[in-house]
Structure formats: structure tokens, C-alpha cells
Structure 1
Amino acid sequence: MIKLCGFALSNYYNKVKFVLLEHEIPFEEETVLASQDEAVLAHSPLGKVPFLITEHGSLCESQAILEYLAACYPERAIFSRDPWQAAKEREMILLVDVQLELIARNLYKQAFFGGTVTDATKGRVEKLLTRHICGFKRLAQFGPYLRGDTFGVADFSGFVHLPLVGLATQQVYGRDFLLDAGVNWKRYWTIINARPAAQRVTADRKAYMDATRKT
């Protein structure tokens, strides 16, 4: 059985966990924090989470993990069976993961962890996100899912990342860049969270946060 290592506050951990639950792939969980300890670096070269422990060894980076799962469980059809549609799904995932979340991540220190970011960082992030959200709107369909009327693999990224982009910009700039641009991520999140697998991810994340506050 594969083991998913990370912690329930990590959006990338939750991206992989959502996939595993949604497609009913057996797995175990082990709570592991991002670290430079050798025990973590032995599985994840940069000390990041999530990573997967398999019979073949360890694998890190959430998208690489998804590709591995898709190859190991072709009957689950994690990606579309149509090559063009599968490529478009990967395109959307990269846009959400890299062009939105990774940029917004520069704000998390101030938005969620009580720190501050420089004015230069704020200016750079605002410029990039403004342009990238426009590009995202050209590609996303919200019909009600990111790629139309069918739930798909890109929605795993959308579900865990879009709220963070919206909330981080609201906290740092006083306005939600996504909502201001007409991207109603709150409605989208509510629709996705109706799925049992998403509800499990949400509940486990909340339980982790509650437990962390008590310690």
C-alpha cells in the first residue's frame, strides 16, 4: 500500500489526498512536516511535502505524484482518456498551480502567519496576479467545473488553491483579486465541497487546525 506523507494544512498534500479519496485508491497517511531533517530529505530532496512512499521508493512533487497514480491505476481514468482533453487538463493544472498559487504564496507569510512582506513583493505579486487571473479567466469555464460541466482532475487543484489566492489577496491588499475579477471561487468551492471526498479533506484540515491551536 502507498503512504501519503505530509500534513492536512498543506494545500498540495490535500490535492493529492483528494485524488486518492475521490478515485478510491487505497493509501495510508503519515503526518510529516516540511523539514530539512535528514529523515525527510531522504524522501523529498528539498524537504517539502507531500511525498509518497511506494514499493518502488519515494516520490515528491504533487503533480508527479498524480501522474504516477494515473499510470498505476489507468482504470480510474484520473485524466481524460482523450489525449487532447488530457493535455488541456494538464494545462489548467499548471496554470492554477504555478501561475496563480505559486505567485500568491509570496503573500502567505503576511496573510496567514502573522509576518510581513515588503512593498516590493506586494507590487510584484499584484502585477503578476492581475495578469495571470485574466489569463485564467480566458481558460476556465466554470460550467460549474473548471473545464465545463464535468468534474475532472483540474478541479483537485482548483479546490485547494483558489480559496488561498482569494483569501491571501483579501488579507494583504484589502480586496479579493479573484472576486474582483469576476471569479466566484466561493461558489465553485461550495460545489466541489459537496463531494464526499472533498468533505473528508475539508474535515481533516479543520481537525488538524483545531488540534494545532490546542497545543
Structure 2
Amino acid sequence: MKLYTYFRSSAAYRVRIALNLKNINHEMVPVNLLKSEQQSEDYLQVNPQGLLPALETEHGKLGQSLAILEYLDELYPQSPLLPSDAWQKAQVRSFAYAVACDIHPIDNLRVLKYLTGELQISEEQKTEWYLHWIRIGFEKLESQIGDTDFCCGNTPSLADVCLVPQVFNALRFNLDMSEFPKISAIYERCNQLPAFIEAAPENQIDAN
């Protein structure tokens, strides 16, 4: 397998964690978002959406991190990202989608670049935008976490795979995580596990 990735892409970070949790052999292919390499003709042959990540498999090439994660979970059942129980599975998906579908899309790089480029808002206003939406999202997630080691139980799941990259980026924007002690504890706990450590942005071959 080949994973087309960028070291600070939250969506690619999710897939890196999952590949590591499942001990799936894979090759990393860096695509530099800051240089807009995801819009190059070569990469558009891999993923016509022009987004990261993309996974090249024996069946073909697949985009969208959540689709990739569920594909991997079905193909490689070891260290499952989703529980077998239907209700628990829905709970994990609900948490993960809150991150991947509600928080991340309005705070990702292409949105922030549009704000400072086309709309010409200041760097301070961009940061205010980012922190506003992250804080609202994290407040809701914090209220959902019970007395468990991870987001939805006592083993890492799809929810944790989505949460950890989002916290990493929140810290880059200096969000005060003391407001979210449960999220912070899960983030620290995950980052003691080899699969999360190896997937961390600073440990990638294209890290600056």
C-alpha cells in the first residue's frame, strides 16, 4: 500500500495512526500542501478530488480519510477501529464524525488560506476564526466523554484516531486545553502508544 500524505494534514494523520495500529505494511508518499502539490496533474491522477490523503491499494486508489479508515477496518480486523455492537459502533461514529465532518472542514488549510487570501482577513482574525470553531466543537465533545480511558471505551477507536490530529492542530494555534481536561487526558494517553507516536507529524519523512 501507498499512503499519499502531508505531515501536518489532519486527515492523513488519521490514516497513519490506523495503519500503525493495525500493523499494515505501507509506503509513505509525501505531497506538499503548502506548495499546492495536491493540485498537480500527477497527483490528480491519484486523487481527482485534489485532497489528502489518498491510499493506493491492490484494488485501486481511494480518497477521503473516513472511507479509507472504514475500508482498512473491514479488510484488516485486527485492532478494530469500530466495535461490533451496533449501538456502540454508532456512538464511535457519532464522535468521530463530529471531528471529521463538523470541526475539521471549516478549520483546514484551504479554508484558512481562502480567509487570508481571497477575503483578506488578518492573521489575527484567522486565528480568532480557528479558535472560535475549535472551542465550540471541543466543548461539545468534552461533554460526551465518560469515565473511560479513550473517547468511547478503554481501547483506541475511530473516535480517538480522529480526535488526536485535531488536538495537535489546536495546540499549534495555542488553544488553552485546560478548558478540556478529558480531551487532554485522552490526547496524552494516546500519545504514549507506539502507533500514535510513529504517526505524529514531527516523526514523518517530510517534517520540516
Q: What range describes the TM-score normalised by the shorter chain of this pair?
A: 0.7 to 0.9
User: Which of 145, 158, 161 is residue 156 of structure 1 equivalent to?
Assistant: 161
Shift of 1:123: 6.0
Q: Deviations over 1:132-157 (max 9, x none)?
A: 33321222236231113332221111
Q: How is 1:102-117 mapped onto 2 (pairs within 5 angstroms)?
A: 102-105=105-108, 116-117=122-123
Q: Secondary structure at the match of 2:186?
A: helix
User: 2:189 is matched by which residue type in structure 1?
Assistant: I
User: Which of 53, 61, 65 is residue 64 of structure 2 equivalent to?
Assistant: 61
Change (3 A) 1:37 1:206: closer
Q: Which has the higher contact order (CA 8 A, sep 6+)?
A: 2
Change (3 A) 1:186 1:134: closer
On the 8 A contact 2:3/2:55 being kept in 1, the answer is yes
TM-score, structure 1 as length reference? 0.76
TM-score, structure 2 as length reference? 0.79
Q: How many residues align?
A: 196
User: What is the match of residue 28 of structure 1?
Assistant: 27
Q: Secondary structure at the match of 1:59?
A: strand
User: What is the match of residue 5 of structure 1?
Assistant: 4
Matched, 1:42 2:53: no
Q: Deviations over 1:64-95 (max 9, x none)?
A: 10111122223553311111111111111111
On the 8 A contact 1:9/1:205 being kept in 2, the answer is no
Q: Secondary structure at the match of 1:80?
A: coil
C-alpha separation in 2, matches of 1:90 and 1:151: 13
Q: How is 1:86-101 mapped onto 2 (pairs within 5 angstroms)?
A: 86-101=89-104
C-alpha separation in 1, matches of 2:127 and 2:27: 39
Matched, 1:167 2:166: no
More deviation, 76-85/35-44 = 76-85
On the 8 A contact 2:8/2:201 being kept in 1, the answer is no
On the 8 A contact 1:133/1:178 being kept in 2, the answer is no
Q: Secondary structure at the match of 1:53?
A: strand
On the 8 A contact 2:7/2:201 being kept in 1, the answer is no
User: What is the match of residue 189 of structure 2?
Assistant: 191
Change (3 A) 1:104 1:21: same
C-alpha separation in 1, matches of 2:122 and 2:182: 27
